[in-house]
Amino acid sequence: MIINKEVSQDGILTLIIKRTDDADYLLGFENYPWHTHGDLLLNEYGLQETSSERAVKAVFTKIIEDKIPLVVSVINNEVKDVRVTDDISSELKYIKPNEQLIFRYWSGKLISPK
């Protein structure tokens, strides 16, 4: 069940939090495969959260506040995935043939890879 949903100002991205039947919390972008689980976020992004629900909600907030960079993977002019990143330069190492990576924040502000 989706418990939180936010659409970016440019209408391109939809960030969601889902609660599964077994009480797991997932964070991801609607219609794209990347997602993460709350228990994996407990010690990430400077969080000191004690529950997977709180961790997912904290990262959700950091994303919509432009505090976490996003990667949009485009192949043959079609968006294939959207995910968070904490290392833009390593994203470039694994780029696929015909893939374009767009680095941005939730607000749509583009990030120039270094």
For residue 9, the domain's CATH number is 3.10.450
User: Are the C-beta atoms of 75 and 98 separated by less than 8 Å?
Assistant: yes
Looking at the domain assignment, is residue 21 inside a domain?
yes
Q: What residue numbers bound the domain in which 14 lies?
A: 2-64
Domains in the chain, number: 2
Looking at the domain assignment, is residue 37 inside a domain?
yes
Q: How far is CA 39 from CA 4, 14, 26, 45, 75, in A?
A: 18, 22, 9, 13, 31
Looking at the domain assignment, is residue 86 inside a domain?
yes
Rounded Cα distance, 72 and 104, in Å: 8
Question: Tens of pLDDT along the chain (114 residues)?
Answer: 999 999 999 999 999 999 999 889 999 999 999 999 988 888 776 556 578 888 899 999 999 999 999 999 999 999 999 999 989 999 999 898 899 999 999 999 999 987
Residues 6+ apart with CB under 8 A from 81: 32, 33, 34, 71, 72, 73
Looking at the domain assignment, is residue 94 inside a domain?
yes
Whether residues 100 and 49 share a domain: the answer is no
Rounded Cα distance, 94 and 28, in Å: 21
Looking at the domain assignment, is residue 114 inside a domain?
no
